[in-house]
Amino acid sequence: MLSAAAACGHRREAPLTAARVEYSPTTRPAAARHLSAASTLLHMASAAAADPGAAYKLLLSCPAGLPRSRVSVKFDQSFDRIPHPDAALEESISEIWNQRLKQNPSSYSGTKFRYGGHAVHYKDEPNKEYCVSLHLGLTDYSTFVGTNLNPLWEKFLVPSEDDSVHCQHMSNPLGNGAIVQTSDEKIIVLQRSYNVGEFPGYFVFPGGHSEPQEIGILAHQTDEKDLGVLNERVSQEMFDGIIREVVEETGVPANSLTEPIFIGISCREMNVRPTAFFFTKCNIDSSGVQELYSRAQHGFESTKMYAVSEEELRGMTDRMPGCHRGGFALYEMMKNDAKKHENEQYAPLRNTTPYAFV
């Protein structure tokens, strides 16, 4: 598999100051001025007012793009969901899931990785490259339906500026999404099927979830000797999982994709839905990708594939759920960061400090 970091170019720059910004109709312009893409992002946020499901915020932005070697996972039971003290609210979780089963008896409550926050640290070496550690626990689909998709979902939230505390009673499975660029520099977008549960008919980037079952995880392990190995396996699944989703949803072969780079985490404000986004390049042109889509394994999840220019993509974001609008914002930040360094003759992977929106 090719390296996306190599495909994008390797650059370095002095660290930037982290800033807090929420991309929603209430975004504060003063905070947004910290970001080079402020005007574009503020326009996108204000447009979201017409569709509550389109509002989003960014939890983490890594505009330089991080390879697998600079993204790790701390997988621990302490990042699992905390039950809500309101017993009636807790009971509503199983009630809503039971209603879902009556409507669709084939519904399956699969295990998912739960997003419990992140940390940024620096490697102890001359370059002092920053790295991101994702804090993950376990949850399942039924709890997601009963908390995040609960009509009373806002009652599960805790008033806090700390997102991990704010969402501690939520299932919050960590989704994933990929910005896939074809060899003729088009971006792949899917239109969701009208038979899916969330945002039917909307435009989305390829994605889904990294899966605990793919690496044999059914529950937390207590053997501390194996924790290091386990964390490494989960870290790898973050990157393997997004490639698998792209292959299943678009039909492109895995060996046509560069190694993905991690560009950040967005969160749809409605239902507080977190999604990790990656960027990868495909060595097949847009017409070839369209042909492969007809044979995609999970093509039933979407009704159509589009391969669009960046300008066309910008126009499609008005019909994207918030988490994917946030993915486009992360892509814009990556592109803007790259443009600032396009005249540099040589630049190893940049040590740009991430924007941690806390």
Judged against a pLDDT cut of 60, whether residue 27 lies above it is answered with: no
pLDDT digits (tens, 9 = 90+) for 90-123: 999 999 999 999 998 988 999 999 999 999 988 8
Domain count, the chain: 1
Q: Are 259 and 67 in contact (CB under 8 A)?
A: yes
pLDDT in tens, 168-191: 999 999 999 999 999 999 999 999
Confidence label for 32 from pLDDT (cuts 50, 70 and 90): very low
36 within domain boundaries? yes
Look at residue 161 and tell me if it is in a domain: no
Assigned token pair, 272 = 């507080």
CA atoms within 13 A on the CB side of 85: 1
Whether 242 maps to a domain, the answer reads yes
Write the CA distances from 269 to 2, 49, 57, 155, integer angstroms: 35, 12, 7, 14
User: Using one digit for the tens of pLDDT, what is the confidence trace for 320-333?
Assistant: 999 999 999 999 99
Average pLDDT over residues 199-223: 93
Within-domain flag for 237: yes
Domain at 8, CATH number: 3.90.79.10
Does residue 141 register a pLDDT over 70?
A: yes
Establish if 221 belongs to a structural domain.
yes
Q: Comparing 46-60, 219-233, 305-319, which segment has the lowest mean pLDDT?
A: 46-60
Q: Is 14 part of a structural domain of the chain?
A: yes
Q: How would you class 233 by CB atoms within 10 Å of its CB: exposed for 0-12, middle for 13-18, buried for 19 or more?
A: middle
Tokens describing residue 291:
């042909």
pLDDT at 263: 99
Q: Is 166 domain-assigned? A: no
- Range of the structural domain that residue 293 is part of: 2-69+174-356
CB proximity list for 111: less than 8 A, separation 6 or greater: 138, 139, 140, 211, 212, 213, 217, 218
User: Which amino acid is located at 255 in the chain?
Assistant: N
Instruction: Give the pLDDT of residue 356.
Output: 59
Q: In this structure, is residue 350 part of a structural domain? A: yes
